[in-house]
Amino acid sequence: MERLVETISRQVEERKAELIHLLSQLISYPTVSPPARNTNDIQDFIKTYLEQMGFKTDKWEVYPEDPNVVGILKGEASTEYNSLIVNGHVDVAEVGDEREWHSSPFAARIQDSYLYGRGAADMKGGIAASLFAIKLLQDLGVSFKGDLQFQSVIGEEVGEAGTLACVEKGYSADYAVVVDTSDLHIQGQGGVITGWITIESKETHHDGLRRKMIHAGGGVKGASAIEKMVKIITGLQELERHWAVTKSYEGFPPGTNTINPAVIEGGRHAAFVADRCALWITVHFYPNEDYQEVIKEIEDHIRAVSAADPWLRENPPQFNWGGKSMIVDRGEIFPSLELDNEHPGMHALTNSYEKLLGHMPAVGMSTTVTDAGWLGRAGIPTVIFGPGKLEDAHAVNEKVEVQQLLDFTKVMAVFIAEWCNTKKGEE
């Protein structure tokens, strides 16, 4: 193995131009989301790349013109040896004003020690490097006894769970690496869920009746849904403060578990008392929490707040959580992901990192969210590990350090070779 490690490290450096060319090709596809519905061409490219390496591929539309691609390279002894998922999303963040970019966002360029282009860090760099690592192993004659699976998914930037679609189709493995932006740290993550809380009156009143609704003897039992939503917001703030005091998780600053009242919509016209108000909230929670448990906590608390109000008791708030698309459903879910530091896959990845780079990797928690939580929630031990820094991910003149891209390629190549040739249950 030591000789293979040296060969891989040397070959990656010598074939740097091939990796840069591959990443440049991926960047050239303008897969911006939103608006999305534009990934068919890049997925065809990746599908062909996988097939040329002998992968059996599955391509299906998650949304029109936004397909997933899964490639599987069957191992020589699949039932006995470890299988691996490598996962990445092909959609990229919005570009903004292109005049602020030093060059076209979709024409990769090298300047100093960086490669620039939309998706360089988030996360076409990770995809290109992983594909190239597999190709390099094949060129070196390395075969796999366990199955290797490559998931190229859509929709991550707008909460469209392409990875969830893979899970729902039954794709699984003994371990998974989501090659999203992590600065070569090995990470888990907290979770995010959005939800709508809606208050709706059973009756609609002209605003000329407001005097009778708010003064003694008025005789009209009514209320403004907007004003009643203030009580709900106050209740959410109380719960948020309670969480900040009673919950914590190593690697996160205190109070990271937040409830943000992000958008409010209410009323129909200035001549009416508001008979409807909807609040869109974003909830952050810790890696050891499941979003269904978090939902229950919020609903229980807000129902208790409502029970203390005579009008809200009769017009209780309604809840609508999550969604599979910020574009279609105006909602999203990113499940949390805890790390299993004792898992053989974690040991194999950290050992590969140390062999190639001469020191142990940083292991901790991402400050953002990725698709990794869907794999973890499906019972697949998963980590986030990829090139690129988070501050570059959605930025104007997005970039990735070329040497970091090469280092990631080396680590992934050695890890894949080792993991997919290790018997299940062995270190």
pLDDT at 184: 98
Claim to verify: residue 196 and residue 184 sit in the same structural domain: no
Percent above pLDDT 70 for the chain: 97
Catalytic residue among 147, 156, 275, 289: 156
Claim to verify: residue 295 and residue 370 sit in the same structural domain: no
Residue type, 215: H
pLDDT at 161: 84
Claim to verify: residue 204 and residue 250 sit in the same structural domain: yes
Which residues neighbour 386 within 8 Å (Cβ) at sequence distance 6 or greater? Answer: 88, 123, 125, 126, 178, 179, 180, 181, 182, 184, 408
Indicate whether 208 belongs to any domain: yes
pLDDT band at 77 (very low <50, low <70, confident <90, very high): very high
pLDDT at 403: 98
**Lowest mean pLDDT across 94-98, 103-107, 222-226, 399-403:** 222-226
pLDDT at 1: 78
Indicate whether 62 belongs to any domain: yes
Q: Say whether 397 sits in a helix, a strand or coil.
A: coil
Catalytic residue among 91, 147, 157, 240: 91
Say if residues 320 and 198 touch (Cβ distance below 8 Å): yes
Q: What is the mean pLDDT of the chain?
A: 95
pLDDT at 206: 67
pLDDT at 356: 96
Establish whether 160 is a catalytic residue. Answer: no
- Mean pLDDT over 383-397 rounds to 97
Claim to verify: residue 233 and residue 107 sit in the same structural domain: no
DSSP structure class, residue 132 = H
Pick the closest to residue 417 from 162, 84, 177 (CA basis). Answer: 84
Say if residues 336 and 325 touch (Cβ distance below 8 Å): no
Establish whether 91 is a catalytic residue. Answer: yes
Claim to verify: residue 317 and residue 344 sit in the same structural domain: no
Q: For residue 222, give its domain range.
A: 191-321
Phi and psi for 337 in degrees, rounded to 5? -145, 115
Give the pair of three-digit tokens for residue 347: 């040991």
- Mean pLDDT over 344-352 rounds to 98
Pick the closest to residue 15 from 410, 411, 419, 414 (CA basis). Answer: 410
Indicate whether 329 belongs to any domain: no
- pLDDT tens digits, residue range 117-129? 999 999 999 999 9
Question: Last residue of a domain, which of 321, 354, 374?
Answer: 321
- pLDDT tens digits, residue range 286-318? 999 999 999 999 999 999 999 999 999 999 999
Indicate whether 405 belongs to any domain: yes
Alpha carbon distance, N-terminus to C-terminus of the chain: 15
Claim to verify: residue 11 and residue 125 sit in the same structural domain: yes
Q: Domain total for the chain?
A: 2
